[in-house]
Amino acid sequence: MNNIEEIKARIDIVDLVSETVKLRRAGKNYTGFCPFHANTRTPAFVVFPDSGTWRCFGECNEGGDIFKFVMKKEGWDFPEALRYLAEKAGITLEPVTPKKKEENEYIEKLRSILEDAVIFFRHHLTQTENGRQTLSYLKQNRLLNDKTIETFELGYAPNAWEAMLDHFHNKGINDKALLDCGLITKRNEADGYYDRFRNRVIFPIRDASQRICGFGARALSNDDMPKYLNSPQTLIFDKSALLFGLDKARKPIRTADQVIIVEGYFDVIGLYQAGFQNAVSPMGTALTPVQMRHVKRYTRKIVLALDPDSAGEKATLKGLEVARETMDHSAEFVFDPRGLVRSEARLDADIRVCSLPDGLDPDEIALQDAARWQTVVENAKPIITHVIDTLTAGKDLEDPKTKSEIAEKVIPLIKDVPNAVERDTYRQQLAKILHVSEQSLFSVSEVQYLNKRRPRRQKMALEPDSLETQVKAERNKFYNLEKHILLLLVKKPDMVYDLDRYLKKNDLQPISEEDMEFGDLQLVLSLILDSLKQIDTAAEEYIDAKLPEDMTWLKTDSEELILKPENITQNHLFTDLVQTFLNLRKNKVVEKINSLSMLHSSSETEPGNLDMSMIQRELLESIKMRATLDRVLSSPLIGD
């Protein structure tokens, strides 16, 4: 149970509303004068204890849960209502605990130490003898100019064991903080610590918001191993979540609508200097799902510039198999080259691989001949073509065993391609290369493929018994419909425009906060609508930045939903959105009709309690609305 559910379970809506509204029992429910509009004669405000909701059938014509009640009554936003009700319910909210606050402050402190370290390393690059040698290495061997070196804040870690330690000790920073920053390492035998980075080129690593997270470091002497060394995992450095260069590449990626994924720091920097500023690199790992999510925010067009040496090719293929295995055994996405194919299928992403001329790295090519690099990128091949080429290179394609080995590896990739025409093209391509008929290729594998598919994870079923559970299930229906709409919109806020157009065409009101009955979900919809009203940041980013911590699960769930194979096209998503939205409105109007009928009959037994003409008028309007919604729901929707 999350905080919101817990609060709802603990606070009785009748008690809460009774604090400000005098309620009278009417059958199972309670009625009173609406606190939100001027009314003294006819009680139009109803509280439904079973569902934990309220509704004004008068002027306001709106309703919601306890959060929405408090928000409306006090004029608060959701976080304020959450704090208030949590306190009332005796629940401690995680984000505002002093402990959490302390932790955030500590993280800020670590960042300021790291910012200081950036200056320290830069000082040593430009102001010391060894540093100047390193500087000339960067300029002469790596062809970098002063401006680039400054832009990327490159530095030099002095060839000493305690230079950094002394620097920070003098500033009164203790070992614990330095250790938590990943700047020092504990000695093995003796007590004490020593500098983690020694005699290395230093690359500060920042996140997309340009906050410093840690460092990458390249050895300058061949004796120093490993060649590349990163900050260790710390509170702020998680190499599986960071992409080097993203702080600078963010905008260029969006402008070019393309990201180039390279393997090293120098590739990113060299490409930048050569005018290709849309490159990023993971840090010595295959792309992870988190990194993929970062990239996806800016573009769906991904070009992989893989290492050209044969070890690199082998690693790629090994990655394919590993990823395939992983895919079959967990719900997590894997973004090795093999996984990228999968993501290509599910994310609507265009993933290409460019082959680098033998022995050359991207930065070498680009810095010597920018036009040549441009051609390399333009000639990038779709990933399946690349895999087929790689697997078949230098193989005896007349050998039946080789044929079946290759087919086994490539067929699953082809099956993941969402577009039928493309899929057919790849099938033909593969059949042609292997000199076999298309039929023989795909009859066997069809069975294998189906057998390998695993059933979807089952959601935990609700306990079926108590009345309370039944009521909750009814509420859940509404919650789930509202949630589903947000899952579709939180990642694709632009669909609001299409939805509104569609609603308008059918004489229905546009989507608004009023469509959300649950305060937490209403807040998110309100964010989504706001995101479209501003122009400073991309809508999705705007939502991302403002989504309360309690609601971040929406993003993860949304990705899961959008990545489902049936949702690969925008059309499917939009159809889903329209249907869910119409169903939500219909369910609400049906509920309203039921409530009104119930009130109607209960006020027959308790006359004088409610304004009958108002109820009848509302009832009539609701029935009309239901008919309209039925008509729209049954009319053929969007052409697919």
User: Least distance to Zn ion from the beta carbon of 34, Å?
Assistant: 3
User: Least distance to Zn ion from the beta carbon of 640, Å?
Assistant: 42
Helix or strand or coil: residue 244? strand
For residue 84, what are the contacts with CB-CB under 8 A and spacing of at least 6?
70, 74, 76
Can you point out the beta strands (E) in 240-358? 259-261, 279-280, 301-305, 350-354
Q: Are 408 and 430 in contact (CB under 8 A)?
A: no
Tell me whether residue 41 or residue 533 sits nearer to Zn ion (CB atom).
Answer: 41
User: Least distance to Zn ion from the beta carbon of 117, Å?
Assistant: 59
CA distances from 185 to 105, 176, 305 (A): 23, 11, 34
Residue 106, both tokens: 């500590």
Measured in Å, how far apart are the chain's first and last C-alpha atoms? 39
Tell me whether residue 24 or residue 37 sits nearer to Zn ion (CB atom).
Answer: 37
Q: Are 440 and 456 in contact (CB under 8 A)?
A: no
Residue 608, both tokens: 């004088």
User: Least distance to Zn ion from the beta carbon of 593, Å?
Assistant: 19
CA 369-374-380 angle, 5° bins: 130
For residue 86, what are the contacts with CB-CB under 8 A and spacing of at least 6?
3, 7, 92, 93
Q: Which residues bind Zn ion (CB under 5 A)?
A: 34, 36-37, 56, 58, 60
How many Å apart are CA 462 and CA 448, to the nearest integer? 35
How many Å apart are CA 588 and CA 454, to the nearest integer? 36
Amino acid at 148: T
Tell me whether residue 19 or residue 398 sits nearer to Zn ion (CB atom).
Answer: 19
Tell me whether residue 58 or residue 252 sits nearer to Zn ion (CB atom).
Answer: 58
User: Least distance to Zn ion from the beta carbon of 38, Å?
Assistant: 9
Q: Are 98 and 105 in contact (CB under 8 A)?
A: no
Tell me whether residue 58 or residue 270 sits nearer to Zn ion (CB atom).
Answer: 58
User: Least distance to Zn ion from the beta carbon of 30, Å?
Assistant: 15
Tell me whether residue 14 or residue 89 sits nearer to Zn ion (CB atom).
Answer: 14
Tell me whether residue 492 or residue 588 sits nearer to Zn ion (CB atom).
Answer: 588
How many Å apart are CA 236 and CA 283, to the nearest integer? 15
User: Least distance to Zn ion from the beta carbon of 634, Å?
Assistant: 33
Q: Are 165 and 178 in contact (CB under 8 A)?
A: yes
Tell me whether residue 45 or residue 373 sits nearer to Zn ion (CB atom).
Answer: 45
Helix or strand or coil: residue 55? strand
Q: DSSP letters of 270-300?
A: HHHHTT---EEB-SSSPPPHHHHHHHHTT-S
Looking only at the bridges linking them, the beta strands covering 259-261 and 279-280 are: parallel
Q: Are 594 and 554 in contact (CB under 8 A)?
A: no
User: Least distance to Zn ion from the beta carbon of 585, Å?
Assistant: 20
Tell me whether residue 14 or residue 60 sits nearer to Zn ion (CB atom).
Answer: 60
Tell me whether residue 538 or residue 614 sits nearer to Zn ion (CB atom).
Answer: 614
Tell me whether residue 58 or residue 264 sits nearer to Zn ion (CB atom).
Answer: 58
User: Least distance to Zn ion from the beta carbon of 239, Å?
Assistant: 55
How many Å apart are CA 195 and CA 346, to the nearest integer? 45
Helix or strand or coil: residue 53? strand
User: Least distance to Zn ion from the beta carbon of 18, Å?
Assistant: 17
User: Least distance to Zn ion from the beta carbon of 58, Å?
Assistant: 5
